Chain A
Amino acid sequence: MPTLVLPSMVAGRDLADALVERLAGDLTGTAVVVDCRRLVSASPSFAAQLVLRVLVDRRAGSLHVEHAPAAFRTYLQQAARRIGVTDRLHVSAREPASA
């Protein structure tokens, strides 16, 4: 599956464009995975552009965001609602750090 690994801090539409650009080939109908294990902080504009680029412009079948911090999860879900693609966005929360 095409996979994006996010760095520790992500903000802005240009950065989302650049990261999605790295996914080679035709994404139509495929499942795209975003790995957020390293992600610490994010901005809503990055989340909105990620959803738009992957699910609308590149026409991926679904976007699976794994280990998402709480705020990033909220930004993604809000963006998916506005864009009308909530049924194709799947976000799994980061598990709380063990003591």
Chain B
Amino acid sequence: MERLQARLHRPPGLAGLACCDARGEHVLDLTARSWVDPAHLVAAATLAHAHAAADLPLRVLSPRGADPHHYAGRMHLGRVLDALGVQHDLPTGVLERDRRADLLEVRPVGSEDDARALASLVATKLRADSAPASDVLYSCVAEMALNVADHAGAVGYVAAQTLPQVGAIKFAVADAGLGLRATLAARGATSDDEAVQMALSGRSRLDTPGRGTGLPTTLRELSALEGSLFLLSGEAAVTASGSGRVREPVEAPFPGTLVQGVLRLPGWRPGAVGRAG
């Protein structure tokens, strides 16, 4: 449990999620991953989707460890890769006896309808445990998934997970679309780092009043529940929380945008067994 606590707000190391060109073949090598976050799942699905869309062959290598290997399969990454025609060695027939903690397996989002449906699904699953957390999760997942439909011009992926041992939720949304720098270039962004900071501060590509509120509101709501938000676009990454923003090293530049949010379930106490509430 201490390891889980320590990892809760740690940025997801994305080493292995850069496509390496191994003898003419693109490979996503997850073999060295000792744990897998929703961020890793949606990043892998997004990169696989981009390869499939460009008709580029790709092979995904599953984590070697039994737990992350099994988890990635249980969260349907293997099925998503199958549907994209991407080679992989992830399990696809994982026994799913207890999936209560898997709020949302890897799912595509390409429209506002998709974004609403997925946000409703996770919020409804969580509602019995914590109504306040359910409301925040609905708002955050909806806003981040809506950004994919609204700005990215691409299909994205969403996943969410309950961490009952530490009373927390993690969700992630990724797309291989324009990326924040291209999206905010007309607003003066000249680097990935500048674009990430501008997006967190509420700058939008559009002049319409009230635009650009998704990320700042998501950050505020996550912070109110002792949470944090990790934002990666291109070569820039930031972890933001109520105590400020921290620039993170980028192990693998991401060709689009990836967000991972963490929030605590209100009222959860250490030692509680199972889910909060």
* B214, A11: Cβ atoms closer than 8 Å: no
The size class of the interface chain A forms with chain B is: 20 to 34
7 contacts between A and B (CB under 8 A): A11-B146, A12-B116, A15-B112, A42-B138, A43-B138, A44-B214, A49-B210
* B143, A83: Cβ atoms closer than 8 Å: no
CB distance from B183 to the nearest CB of A (A): 16
Which A residues are CB-close (under 8 A) to B210?
Answer: 48-49, 51-52, 79, 82-83
Among candidates B143, B149, B208, B211, residue contacting A43 with C-beta atoms closer than 8 Å: B143
Which A residues are CB-close (under 8 A) to B139?
Answer: 11, 41-44, 71
The size class of the interface chain B forms with chain A is: 20 to 34
Measured in the bound complex, the distance between the Cα atoms of B207 and A82 in whole Å is 12
| A77 interface hit (Cβ, 8 Å) | no
| A78 interface hit (Cβ, 8 Å) | yes
| A29 interface hit (Cβ, 8 Å) | no
Which B residues are CB-close (under 8 A) to A75?
Answer: 217
| A14 interface hit (Cβ, 8 Å) | yes
* A71, B135: Cβ atoms closer than 8 Å: yes
Among candidates B127, B134, B142, residue contacting A11 with C-beta atoms closer than 8 Å: B142
Interface residues of B (CB under 8 A from A): 112, 115-116, 119-120, 123, 127, 134-136, 138-139, 142-143, 146, 149-150, 208-211, 213-214, 217
Which B residues are CB-close (under 8 A) to A83?
Answer: 209-210
Q: Which of B146, B150, B210 has the most CB of A within 10 A?
A: B210
Which A residues are CB-close (under 8 A) to B150?
Answer: 13
* A12, B135: Cβ atoms closer than 8 Å: no
Measured in the bound complex, the distance between the Cα atoms of B163 and A98 in whole Å is 32
* B135, A44: Cβ atoms closer than 8 Å: no
- 4 closest A-B pairs by beta carbon, nearest first, are A48-B210, A11-B142, A41-B138, A43-B142
Measured in the bound complex, the distance between the Cα atoms of B143 and A78 in whole Å is 16
* A69, B135: Cβ atoms closer than 8 Å: yes
